[in-house]
Structure 1
Amino acid sequence: MPITLETVVFALVAVNLWTVLRFWQDKQRAATGKLRIPEGDLLGLALIGGSPGALLARRLFRHKTRKEPFSTRLTVIVMIQAGVLLGLVATS
């Protein structure tokens, strides 16, 4: 079965919604002193396509905005993804 544009868009919307939800949950857990969501999990969601959701959630919830090396790692993920996207657009 071929992968369609609609499937890719649906998957990206889903992973970004999930990413925003997980950032919100982590923020809530931080505020209440509960077990936190590992940074690796949050970065993993960004890596699989949830970086727009991660950036949005950081701004909306003011969460993990100054945390290092998390911020640098997220920035690197976003830059790599932007480069890949630009490369795909330039070669198509």
Structure 2
Amino acid sequence: MSATEDMRLRAKEQQELCARVRRMLVSRLDLPVDTDWITDDQPLFGRGLELDSVDALEISIGLTAEFGATVHDDDREAFGSVAKLTERVHDQI
């Protein structure tokens, strides 16, 4: 496999994992939005999805249940966006 093909494959896997994380967020938190509305770089807290600490705990539990990944609810960096959550999940699966 060429380096270009390998990069394309990894990018596709990352996109699919981000989509799964978005679906988990909407489902687990019962968010009143379509998963396509959430971008990979959108902040989860503050002006983004306006989530709170209880949501962070629920996300942490959901990531463990859905992916077997452990992300602590106080890990501010990991909860920066869907893409950052996905990176943490990807590193553990």
TM range (shorter): 0.3 to 0.5
Normalised by the size of structure 1, how large is the TM-score?
0.40
Normalised by the size of structure 2, how large is the TM-score?
0.39
Q: Which structure: greater helix fraction?
A: 1
Work out which of the two has the higher radius of gyration on C-alpha atoms and give 1 or 2.
1
